[in-house]
């Protein structure tokens, strides 16, 4: 087989391509997972905020009216 000196260039392109494909797949996975995590955080935080709002509303309106009538 002839050694024309171009084999290392082809090998370099193959290695760069494999590394590039791996980085692309990692970025693609992150682009899918991060918005799901963000939406879950918004739902969790929003749920806690609504729970706290209703708890506060109950304490301020219903419980304060009961204390005034006693």
DSSP code per residue over the chain = ----S-HHHHHHHHHHHHHHHHHHHHHHHHHHHHHHHHHHHHHHHHHHHHHHHHHHHIIIIIIHHHHHH-
pLDDT digits (tens, 9 = 90+) for 16-52: 999 999 999 999 999 999 999 999 999 888 888 888 8
Please tell me the predicted confidence (pLDDT) of residue 64. Answer: 67
Nearest 5 degrees, angle CA 39-CA 43-CA 46?
Answer: 130
Band (70; pLDDT cuts 50, 70, 90): low
User: Would the pTM count as exceeding 0.85?
Assistant: no
């Amino acid at each position: 087989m002839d050694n024309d000196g171009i084999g290392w260039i082809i090998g370099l392109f193959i290695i760069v391509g494999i590394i590039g494909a791996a980085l692309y797949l990692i970025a693609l996975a992150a682009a899918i997972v991060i918005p799901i995590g963000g939406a879950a955080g918004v739902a969790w935080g929003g749920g806690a905020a609504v729970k706290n709002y209703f708890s506060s509303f109950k304490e301020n309106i219903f419980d304060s009216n009961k204390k005034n009538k006693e």
